[in-house]
Structure 1
């Protein structure tokens, strides 16, 4: 497929560019000046351009990682077509790929359009009974895209706080013994239904995800806040300028060392220089990189969500540190497009800002009711001061 080095003329500039940060379009332009184009030559040149460009991308962010994975997919596809002359014509494969990509783009555009139309209606606040059902009963099952769009639409509306009269009746009281209530309800399932009756299995399938005192929800609220503050810590530390890449690499290495000490407690007494001489230091790196990439991706999604929909992110149990690791394929594109559409409309932007403040007050109100003591209240107050969502800031 790619010609042997001996049969090639002297390598042109675009093939010598491994040490220079050319974009694919620049590399292709250089190649275009020198290559006679036919379909096989085009694919071969594409493969060579990607071979040059992909190693230049250092996966320091989720976007870099996703870009590199996408380019690697294109490279593998080009090699596969070149290696199999009996395959259908590449132009057919290309058309099929373009059609599939266009279908995905159209579906994402439809999602954005529907969300913007819902936003323009500026519906009333989500009733407190609906929020209670989400927290105590769990998020209704469904496809990722449907759950995501429903949650974004709810967030734009904002969540109404329960009245004082409804608190004791509708919401778990402060200091409710979560495990006692949960286990008691489970035991009653066995007393009231037969094992031969499908009703027990159906009831327990719902009970598995129930959160009778809202304790799991509260834990997820704190986890999400910690993830958002950690993301802010990383931005503050890495900063900008010439040393940004160096600081990113330093932080990544320190995280790896911390991960290794937890994984190998028998070597916890070793300092960083000694740790680097352990047999497993290099071999464990791949496992860490996989885990770390997933967590980075989760934090990136969580941060983008928070900046787009504000404190409603914390109220809605649809969004957790776990669920943000598994989203629909076009989710980030849909979210960014929706955020851009709202930000460019002053009426919608003001409405979002007002409803975000209502959701923040609802969160503080519920936590104050559900937890005795002031430490969690102080924690939440500190979080909002340190990490205000972009959508809540004056335009």
Structure 2
């Protein structure tokens, strides 16, 4: 196994990578469903903490595979088989999500994570066997770092059962340190355009899961309650939020920004909040629907916050990670930060919060397009005059 060319033209995601992403949606859906259950029951603190912990395991496993595949995907039989083993680990992890939420028992999640990580170690060792010099050392460091972190996870879960939050955070830091340490000597041959596409596709998949969750929530409510305007407002507002989230993320190209490891690692790590908040929007819409029809006995503000908080986090994080690099002028630059604050303020609107948040998202898109059009016209006019 040798590294692929970093400057390879027309590099695109493979069917195996798309299949890998699709299987991860199962785990994302499980995490979202348990978050809904916790919020509806009034256990917001425990639910959010459990969601963030489980989502880290999901996101980190996906991220590790995606960056490895960007550098070393040779699509032969051993590579395919090892990747399918990782997918099996994802499904085991997904099966353990309810137990992790309800009992804080991460044993099954850890078993699924172990399967994925051992397969990843095998991939890195295979890469090391085909490399020489600094590239070989980088691959060995990755394999060693992943293996050591996995030993740490298992040690924290012996005897099997609960995982302390402080111990979890320590292991998160250890996991995040592996890539920069491994690539301190020589960086892997990840492909900027391919990585940008992989993250974009996973964003689409997560937003698709949000649409699916919201649809099921509205359908379930209609099955047991008569249709009324509030459900339609939540459904319409949620749809506007998701449409705006998609538009804003894909409004600008980002692969040109990913020139080196420093920019790429910050961008890649920051997507934990992008993915987690995007998936949480769907869970929030479910909570808002259940609160509206009286199934969830929580205040209207809590049902609203379940949608507005992740929506605000998404808008601000997407601005921070890449859209700000393509904006010109204070007004253009301030659209998304102001929109995120405005969405958060919509929480105070009670039952009207979700549709209002959707309108704010749509206005943010409209303003962004308007400012961008003016900038392009000004640049074209300037080039015409200089010519």
TM-score normalised according to structure 1 size: 0.22
Give 1 or 2: higher helix fraction.
Answer: 2
TM-score normalised according to structure 2 size: 0.22
Structure number with bigger Rg:
1
